[in-house]
Amino acid sequence: MADENRAGTIGIVGVGVMGGGMARNLLKAGRRLVAFDTDAGRLNDIVARGAIRASSAREVAEQAATLISMVETTAQSEAVIMGETGFLPALRQGDRVLSTATIDPNAVKRWHGVLAAKGAELLDAPVSGGAERADKGDLSSIVGGDAAALEDVRPILEAYSSRVFHVGGVGQGLAMKHVNNMMIQTTTAALAEAFVMGAKAGLSTQDMYDVLRVSTGASTALEMRAPRFLTGNFEPGGTVDITVKDQSLQTDFARSLGVPIFMANVSLQIYEMAKASGLGKRDGASIVTLYEKLAGVTLGPRED
């Protein structure tokens, strides 16, 4: 019975801003879920909603055959998947590991070979959509890895994703995620510059937003960031700290491929300045305040 329970159980490590939404939707879908997080408050919340508590990533893997790692960095992911207190020692033939964080594609390729030697399959399945869509189960899962393994776990992905894309072999899901993140993060920096230039010229922030959203300047970044420019609400969606991490990964990955990267390197420095200015835990849209100070204008109400 224990092995039967394990086969039908999903394990997740990392139930924070994104992983928490994913876990809640797995529970809503009636899945048996075992969870671990180093943040006791986050873990307690998921357990209160019906998850089984684990005391380590290894204990998660001892109880579940399909495993999700949703921590922040490559180093943290390596500890969860490959470490002595991680998944690896407890893995069995036929297990599936989903690495859903935005991390280094080359690292995931290395780990894949180690897990394959134990008969386990690693898929990189980063998600896109932000915290609000994670709560709604409306994420996009961008998957790299074996097609048959993907079909095995597709119902799990569909519990928290409304779209599942298979974009190639192991590491390709993360490559695609970096392309996506590069687009929105560099565009956010361009929007901040453009809006501050317009404000300095005497245009209202609302007018700029109204015109741009129905003109060739329209973008997802505009819809996500401009309302924050207007209201001054920089409570974290995706933080400056995370953007610095993401853009560092993008530029490192491009370098490993021999691809020259200009815009991402420049915007990385903008986010680095924002982090150094104390904005690390604020939403990425908060970089606009750096430009406002330099130009002597504001686009909306701001905290002192």
281 noted as active-site residue: no
| Tens-digit pLDDT profile for residues 245-291 | 999 999 999 999 999 999 999 999 999 999 999 999 999 999 999 99
Same topology for domains 2-170 and 175-295, yes or no?
no
Give the predicted TM-score (pTM) of the model: 0.94
- 175-295, what's its fold? N-(1-d-carboxylethyl)-l-norvaline Dehydrogenase; domain 2 (1.10.1040)
CATH of domain 2-170: 3.40.50.720
Quote the CA–CA distance of 31 and 51 in Å, as a whole number: 9
| Tens-digit pLDDT profile for residues 104-158 | 999 999 999 999 999 999 999 999 998 889 999 999 999 999 999 999 999 999 9
Q: Which of 177, 200, 281, 293 is catalytic?
A: 177
| Tens-digit pLDDT profile for residues 148-199 | 999 999 999 999 999 999 999 999 999 999 999 999 999 999 999 999 999 9
Domain boundaries in the chain? 2-170, 175-295
Band of residue 41 on the pLDDT scale cut at 50, 70, 90: very high
Which amino acid, one-letter code, is at 72? E
